[in-house]
Amino acid sequence: MNTKHITLGAAACAALITMTPVTAKNIALAGAPPEVEENSSQPNQAKVQIAILLDTSSSMSGLIEQTKTQLWKIVNTFIDAKQNGQVPYVEVALYEYGKSSLSKEENWIKRIQPLTRDLDEISKQLFALRTNGGDEFCGAVIQCATDDLMWDPSNKVYKAIFIAGNEAFTQGPVNATDAVKSAIAKGVIVNTIHCGSEQSGISGGWKKGATLADGKFLTIDHNRAVAHIEAPQDAEIVKLNAKLNRTYLAYGRIGVAKKREQATQDANAAAKSKSGADVQRAVTKGSANYSNTAWDLVDACKEENFDITKVKNDALPAVMQTMTMAQRKVHVATKSKERAAIQAQILELNNKRNTYVATKRKEQAEKTGVQTLDEVVAKTIREQAEKQGYAFKK
């Protein structure tokens, strides 16, 4: 191992580390906002951890557009998955690298979000990304994500890095070989996505990097528009999403802002409706992967140790502040029941939609062989997760 290279990477990572994540339970009672949110779950619940590392240098605007539109589709890969009878939840982390406006001392790397279930925040940050020229150091950003993120130590958890870019994989002060070996030593698979031809990806070291970390070497056309097949169920799914939003009970100091952010990300997805982002986001919100315990009372009350009686009156939604405690509990239970019914409708429609789309794809028989980010990531995730005991509906 090249100690000098790893030391440089660790130093860069240290500058990116933020506060330890704070759970909803710790912040809700006082209504104070957390520095970093974390949506908790039941102990030993099946889960998935995915870090997305995006090259944001000048030529990568197409890659960013694909990620904006297909984040929800990637997360939805696990909607019909189970591990030991449990539906896994998904944590996503996001990094950008290679942009000249980032810090040279940190190897042109920025951790945008740690591993989190706050998918609205991930979407918000994706839509805020901009590109400009810079130096793309793959080894450095992989080492950073490996050292920096709170990867689950269990070998039963599917943990993967997806790094996308178009320059040589071997560039930079951190040895890329050492970086990917460090990742797989933690049980983190590294998948490389070269934005360009297969041959240039191989010669640039992208294939070797994936092979060393038990990952997959993938190539995409990052400037290609994502193909979306409209289905008869789409309009109803989007309509149900609006009904779903009315079941959220924002509380605490961050509640109002986060509820507003939910609406903003709905609008961002709607603006990308030609790629199906609005439908896929609604499907995500219809699943267990969309959880907002830090600001929504319905989700918070599902937590084992959450006690609504200890939430301060002025931290509650205005409509609940004049209610008795018994009325508050009934109100939350009613909203929870409404949400569950709407979510069940969305997922049922999505099952029908998937059947329709699969048929249409066969009819179209696309023979271009050119893939987009969502296609390669979703397929790779399924193949790799199945090897670790995750079962998917066929």
The mean pLDDT value of the chain amounts to 85
Please state, in angstroms and rounded to a whole number, the distance separating the CA atoms of residues 219 and 194. Answer: 5
> Is the per-residue pLDDT at 1 higher than 80?
no
With cut-offs at 50, 70 and 90, classify the pLDDT of residue 227: low
Tokens of 177: 């070989």
Task: Tell me the mean pLDDT in the region 171-186.
Answer: 96
Name the least confident of 189-193, 322-326, 369-373, 379-383: 369-373
Q: DSSP characters for 56-112?
A: -SGGGHHHHHHHHHHHHHHHGGGTTEEETTBPPEEEEEEEEE--TTS-TTTTTEEEE
Please state, in angstroms and rounded to a whole number, the distance separating the CA atoms of residues 147 and 140. Answer: 11
Q: What is the largest CA-CA distance in the chain?
A: 68
pLDDT of residue 34: 37
Give the chain's domains with CATH numbers.
3-226+367-392 (3.40.50.410), 234-364 (no CATH)
Q: What is the pTM of this model?
A: 0.81
Question: What confidence tens digit (pLDDT) does each residue in 267-321 have?
Answer: 999 999 988 999 999 999 999 999 999 999 999 999 989 999 999 999 999 999 9
Question: What confidence tens digit (pLDDT) does each residue in 107-154 have?
Answer: 999 999 999 999 999 999 988 888 887 789 999 999 999 999 999 999
SS3 call for 182: helix
pLDDT of residue 3: 34
Question: What confidence tens digit (pLDDT) does each residue in 237-274 have?
Answer: 999 999 999 999 999 999 999 999 999 999 999 999 98
> Is the per-residue pLDDT at 81 higher than 70?
yes
SS3 call for 15: coil
